[in-house]
Amino acid sequence: MHKVKHFLSDYISGENLLESASFILLLIIMAFPAIDYLLRNILSIPVLSSAWDELLLLGGLGLAVLHRFSDNQHQPAAAVNHAMLVFFLLGIAMVVMDLSTFSVNVEGFRAIYEYILFFYVGFYLAGKYPQTRTLLSVAMVVGGLIALYGIYQYIVGAPMPGRWVDAGEAVHTRAYSIVGSPNLLGSHMALLAPIGMGLFMSTKNKLNKVFWAVLTVIILTCLVLTLSRGAWLAFVGALGIMGIFYDKRILVVGLITVILAGIFVPTVKNRMAYLFSAEYMEKSAQSGRISRWLAAYDQMRTDPLFGVGMGHFGGAVAKRTYNSISVDNYYMGMLAETGLLGLGLFLYLIFIVLKKGFDAWKSLKAPEKRYLAAGILAGLLAIALHNGVENIFESPYLNSYFWTMSGLLVALSRSETDRGEPYEE
């Protein structure tokens, strides 16, 4: 612990103002959900409460520019920049294609594109491996506190809207914590649980191992109690993919966990069984997810290449402006709004970023770094998969987390050139 304190004192000092400011800003991003809740629901400061995340992004981009020109050796792979550039050029073109709805187009553009820029904030502001580890530790602690509150809600039976479960399900409550949505909370926990595993595996200190093990169990417990089937499946799918590419033992652990959860947690078994029942399929096709996905597909057919326009269908902007339905599938919503071209370029961008994260993991030699990188990559995969059944990227803090952590992961490859002694807790 004294090494961590020494590390923090080194970064938060006047010796290197740029590095100190960068570290502090990244710390704020890692505490995003707690700060956002504090500003929006408790302090309610005019302007700042609603615009603080945009100010955070602008500050991060400003620091990223300074890093970019102060160290030309640290740049993202050309493939990332090219994919990012093409996707942004398409978005700008779509904004001006129909000037009669210009304001809606701009708002739709902001909703899709704004938080993607956090990738560059994470990449350029990332320091050496110890800094990245500290940042992820902060995200885990904040997430652990959020998880504890969610578990408490479930235990005391906190009230919830009836729309969160079907009438045929015997569910008294779901954990939603300060996030306000069990599905968003589930995605948050699915992102952090693999990172907790990575922190556990990458430390040799027994006391720290116990701490990360307990915190990860708390986060996994909260994940279960959100009763979010999409988050469950995304988490299992992410572990499965990592098991195939990284360590087959992960597949075995994941399979055992799923079996035990199905046996000893009746709610999990019942929720998953109902998902594949004829009753659920019928309701979903009539007024649920399947019907909404088909509606998004029908919207895309009006203009297959460019869609109906950003902010015009399926998302939060469209709901505010046109009282549109929520598609409950970020990719299908994007398909309706930006067409095959927009969705294709967006999926390509995500693929390239995750591929470069995977390449960064392969480039690492130290086992502790590889464990942590694998945890980040698995968490990012969980978010990407969960977007297939929820609008996860419409959550500012989860969107910011995804792209910032993507940047931190890709930047980990730089740690192979770090000088100095290896970091140990």
- What CA–CA distance (Å, rounded) separates 322 from 340? 22
The mean pLDDT of 30-47, rounded to a whole number, is: 89
399, HSE (Cβ side, Cα atoms, 13 Å): 19
* Residue 114: closest CA among 401, 407, 411, 396: 396
Which of the four pLDDT bands, split at 50, 70 and 90, describes residue 5? low
Dihedral, 305, 310, 314, 315 alpha carbons, nearest 10: 150
Q: Domain locations in the chain?
A: 77-417
pLDDT at 169: 65
Which of the four pLDDT bands, split at 50, 70 and 90, describes residue 281? confident
- Stated length of the chain: 425
Give Cα 27 distance to the centre of its chain.
16
Span of 6-10, 39-43, 58-62, 293-297 with lowest mean pLDDT: 6-10
Which of the four pLDDT bands, split at 50, 70 and 90, describes residue 93? very high
Q: Is pLDDT of 13 > 60?
A: no
* Residue 182: closest CA among 407, 418, 386, 409: 386
pLDDT digits (tens, 9 = 90+) for 334-376: 999 999 999 999 999 999 999 999 999 999 989 899 999 999 9
Q: Which long-range contacts (CB under 8 A, 24 or more apart) does 413-417 make?
A: 413/359, 413/360, 413/363, 413/364, 414/74, 414/126, 414/128, 415/128, 415/129, 415/132, 415/364, 415/369, 416/363, 416/364, 416/365
Q: Nearest 5°: phi and psi at 329?
A: -165, 105
Q: Is the pTM of this model over 0.85?
A: yes
Reduced to 3 states (helix: H, G, I; strand: E, B; else coil), residue 223 is helix
Looking at the chain, the whole-number percentage of residues with pLDDT higher than 70 is 88
Q: Is pLDDT of 380 > 90?
A: yes
Task: Supply the mean pLDDT for the chain.
Answer: 87
pLDDT at 166: 67
Q: What angle do the packed helices 396-411 and 118-125 form, to 10 degrees?
A: 40
Give Cα 74 distance to the centre of its chain.
24
Give Cα 258 distance to the centre of its chain.
22
